[in-house]
């Protein structure tokens, strides 16, 4: 590897990040479904030609995809090696979660980039498609016991061979979705993003040359590793443990433990998840690639200045017991992977808080509350409104948690109410902050939210919920208190009902004029509640975020003596 000067390295790093960012923007503008177009549940990046390791990832996509997409590219590398005929213009497509991580709704496209007849790197695109078949519209099936009940499973196959699209693959994909127009639009958006990435890479290498750019990519990996080792070296050696629980797996009403032992020795760290629950019947299992990627996301939160590069993980060992729900084998269901990785992040934060509480925040609300409402319009056309919903983030050493934020596994945004109401026959009766939902502390957690959604279609609809935190609240740290529990209810002819499993339910029949209601958790608090400023407590009461009597119990009556 030739040496590269720091200025050139910085310029090339920025240029390559810009390529990935522009690919993100291309898909966000072209996608048909709001989960990509509005919520930005997608990602793009550049990956190593030999190992598949992440080289560069766009800043607008989901962080969880940084790690899992490297496994997706590795799967394509293995297939290409077995087939022995990789060509310029090939494009591979698949959604198999046990190979590429996350869940079947995330469609992955991987394209080799050749320069002067030689493979230089891979470009990849992943996006959450609106519907990929399966038993439940939107694919979050809380009662699934195998992947075939969640969605259509596609292994890595060639969508294009030497630049020629295989229409047969597209025909199969469009036949296995309730929303073929949406799927076609999202696919074309991803193909357009990859085309743009190829053009931008050509421009970059035309300007700087293959040797210089390859040297920059190698140097960025080594630099990321060095930065991670330096950060770990500044922390105390030791071993710290934490545990938390999932409500249930959607099948059996029993809690599922997620445990971690975090150990730091010099400039290396181990995350050992021994003691976590075994693989379960329901869809809260995750595959090993997802577990490794989640560890990366948690580390990136704790060390925010580190680059999105596989070199960050070189000093970190992730140990996962075989047979656990964190290393689930095909065909175990994985549709609710989001809930499990959020709990993983929570336990990593909780363990790290015992080593260096000044570096972490309290638990966020801990569930995306994947809610799908689907039906048929009066003219027979199907509609599927799938979305995720916000809650409170944890308090931090610097201040209160964010009110009504998105889950810490992503940089996605919550689709706006106006977009959802314009696209589907629903009306939001309520979209508001949830008072008294935040964990108390010197710095309280952020507030959760209240959503009440009424069905307007005369044919009615059917709702499906896949959530968490209905029985185990988001934890505070450094003596902060827990946030509120998640609550879901739905309207029926004889009144409001709640799910037997607290946070998961399918097949909820809704007539025109009936509604569902989500009351999402607030974040955990940071620090002792009695250390909170009386002025801040008074301000929260004045704004309606905390009830006056609750403020007396949580913080004491001193706030009544001051002006907010």
Q: What is the pLDDT of residues 123-162, one digit of tens each?
A: 999 999 999 999 988 888 888 999 999 999 999 999 999 9
At residue 32, the pLDDT reads 93
The predicted model gives 5-14 an average pLDDT of 93
Asked if pLDDT for residue 506 goes beyond 50, the answer is: yes
At residue 128, the pLDDT reads 93
Dist CA 40 CA 50 (whole Å) = 29
Asked if pLDDT for residue 419 goes beyond 70, the answer is: yes
Backbone phi, psi, residue 380, to 5°: 95, -10
Asked if pLDDT for residue 282 goes beyond 50, the answer is: yes
Question: What confidence category does residue 328 fall into, taking pLDDT thresholds of 50, 70 and 90?
Answer: very high
Within a 13 Å sphere around the CA of 406, how many CA atoms are in the beta-carbon half? 18
At residue 304, the pLDDT reads 87
Dist CA 503 CA 467 (whole Å) = 5
Alpha carbon dihedral 277, 327, 69, 503, in 10-degree steps, equals -30
Are 68 and 98 contacting, i.e. CB atoms less than 8 angstroms apart?
no
Dist CA 250 CA 502 (whole Å) = 10
Mean of the per-residue pLDDT values of the chain: 94
Query: 3-state secondary structure string, 91-131?
Result: EEEECCHHHHCCCCCEEEEEEEEEECCEEEEEEEEEEECCC
Question: What confidence category does residue 1 fall into, taking pLDDT thresholds of 50, 70 and 90?
Answer: very low
At residue 317, the pLDDT reads 97
CB contact set of 302 (below 8 Å; sequence gap of 6+): 348, 349, 352, 359, 360
Question: Given phi > 0 = left and psi -120 to 50 = alpha, else beta, which region is 438?
Answer: beta
Are 313 and 330 contacting, i.e. CB atoms less than 8 angstroms apart?
no
Cα–Cα distances in angstroms (integers) from residue 130 to residues 33, 134, 139, 177, in the given order: 6, 12, 8, 9
Give the burial class of 93: count Cβ atoms within 10 A of its Cβ; 0-12 exposed, 13-18 middle, 19 or more buried: buried
Are 352 and 260 contacting, i.e. CB atoms less than 8 angstroms apart?
no
Asked if pLDDT for residue 411 goes beyond 70, the answer is: no
Number of H helices, E strands in the chain: 12, 20
Are 506 and 136 contacting, i.e. CB atoms less than 8 angstroms apart?
yes
Long-range contacts of 131-135 (CB under 8 A, 24+ apart): 131/177, 131/178, 131/179, 131/182, 131/183, 131/384, 131/386, 132/95, 132/104, 132/105, 132/107, 132/176, 132/177, 132/183, 133/176, 133/177, 133/178, 134/104
Dist CA 113 CA 217 (whole Å) = 15
Dist CA 247 CA 95 (whole Å) = 27
Question: What confidence category does residue 2 fall into, taking pLDDT thresholds of 50, 70 and 90?
Answer: low
Q: Which of 532, 534, 529, 533 is nearest to 561 (CA)?
A: 534
Question: What confidence category does residue 58 fall into, taking pLDDT thresholds of 50, 70 and 90?
Answer: confident
Backbone phi, psi, residue 24, to 5°: -55, -50
327: its two tokens: 């290393």
Which helix (H) or strand (E) segment holds residue 69: the answer is: helix 64-83
The predicted model gives 402-408 an average pLDDT of 90
Cα–Cα distances in angstroms (integers) from residue 290 to residues 99, 409, 453, in the given order: 10, 12, 32
Are 520 and 387 contacting, i.e. CB atoms less than 8 angstroms apart?
no
Asked if pLDDT for residue 564 goes beyond 90, the answer is: no
Backbone phi, psi, residue 225, to 5°: -65, -45
Q: What is the pLDDT of residues 79-104, one digit of tens each?
A: 999 998 899 999 999 999 999 989 99
How many Cβ atoms are within 10 Å of 382's Cβ, its own excluded? 12
Question: What confidence category does residue 263 fall into, taking pLDDT thresholds of 50, 70 and 90?
Answer: very high
Q: What is the pLDDT of residues 466-496, one digit of tens each?
A: 999 999 999 999 999 999 999 999 999 999 9
At residue 4, the pLDDT reads 87
């Amino acid at each position: 590897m030739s040496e590269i000067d720091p200025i050139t390295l910085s310029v090339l790093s920025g240029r390559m990040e810009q390529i990935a960012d522009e690919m993100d923007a291309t898909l966000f503008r072209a996608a048909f479904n709001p989960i990509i177009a509005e919520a930005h549940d997608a990602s793009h990046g550049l990956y190593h030609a030999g190992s598949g390791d992440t080289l560069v990832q766009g800043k607008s996509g989901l962080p969880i995809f940084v790690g899992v997409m490297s496994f997706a590219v590795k799967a394509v590398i293995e297939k290409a090696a077995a087939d022995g005929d990789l060509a310029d213009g090939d494009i591979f497509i698949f959604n198999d979660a046990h190979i590429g991580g996350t869940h079947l709704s995330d469609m992955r496209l991987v394209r080799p980039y050749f320069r002067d007849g030689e493979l230089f790197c891979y470009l990849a695109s992943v996006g959450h498609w609106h519907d990929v078949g399966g038993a439940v519209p939107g694919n979050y099936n809380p009662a699934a016991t195998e992947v075939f009940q969640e969605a259509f499973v596609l292994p890595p196959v060639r969508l294009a061979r030497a630049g020629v699209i295989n229409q047969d693959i597209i025909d199969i994909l469009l036949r296995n979705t309730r929303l073929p127009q949406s799927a076609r639009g999202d696919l074309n958006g991803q193909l357009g993003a990859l085309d743009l990435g190829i053009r931008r890479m050509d421009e970059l290498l035309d300007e700087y040359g293959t040797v210089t750019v390859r040297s920059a990519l190698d140097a960025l990996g080594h630099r990321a590793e060095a930065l991670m080792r330096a950060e770990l070296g500044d922390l105390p050696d030791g071993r710290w443990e934490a545990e938390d629980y999932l409500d249930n797996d959607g099948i059996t009403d029993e809690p599922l433990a997620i445990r971690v032992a975090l150990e730091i020795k010099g400039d290396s760290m181990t995350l050992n998840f021994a003691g976590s629950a075994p693989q379960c019947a329901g869809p809260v299992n995750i595959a090993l690639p997802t577990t490794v990627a989640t560890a990366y996301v948690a580390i990136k939160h704790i060390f925010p200045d580190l680059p999105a590069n596989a070199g960050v993980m070189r000093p970190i060992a992730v140990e996962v017991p075989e047979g656990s729900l964190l290393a689930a084998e095909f065909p175990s269901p994985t549709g609710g992977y989001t809930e499990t990785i959020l709990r993983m992040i929570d336990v990593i934060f909780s363990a790290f808080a015992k080593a260096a509480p000044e570096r972490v925040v309290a638990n966020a609300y801990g569930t995306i509350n994947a809610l799908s409402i689907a039906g048929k319009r009066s003219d027979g056309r199907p509609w599927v409104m799938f979305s995720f919903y916000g809650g409170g983030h944890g308090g931090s050493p610097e201040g209160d948690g964010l009110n009504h934020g998105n889950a810490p596994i992503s940089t996605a945004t919550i689709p706006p109410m106006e977009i959802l109401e314009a696209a589907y026959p629903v009306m939001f009766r309520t979209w508001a902050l949830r008072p008294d939902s935040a964990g108390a502390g010197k710095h309280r957690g952020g507030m959760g939210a209240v959503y009440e959604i009424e069905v307007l279609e005369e044919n009615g609809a059917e709702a499906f919920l896949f959530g968490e935190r209905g029985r185990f609240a988001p934890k505070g740290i450094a003596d902060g208190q827990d946030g509120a529990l998640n609550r879901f209810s739905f309207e029926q002819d004889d009144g409001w009902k709640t799910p037997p499993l607290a946070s998961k339910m399918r097949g909820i029949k809704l007539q025109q004029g009936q509604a569902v209601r989500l009351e999402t958790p607030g974040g955990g608090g940071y620090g002792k509640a009695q250390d909170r400023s009386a002025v801040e407590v008074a301000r929260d009461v004045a704004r309606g975020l905390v009830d006056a009597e609750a403020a007396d119990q949580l913080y004491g009556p001193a706030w009544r003596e001051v002006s907010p």
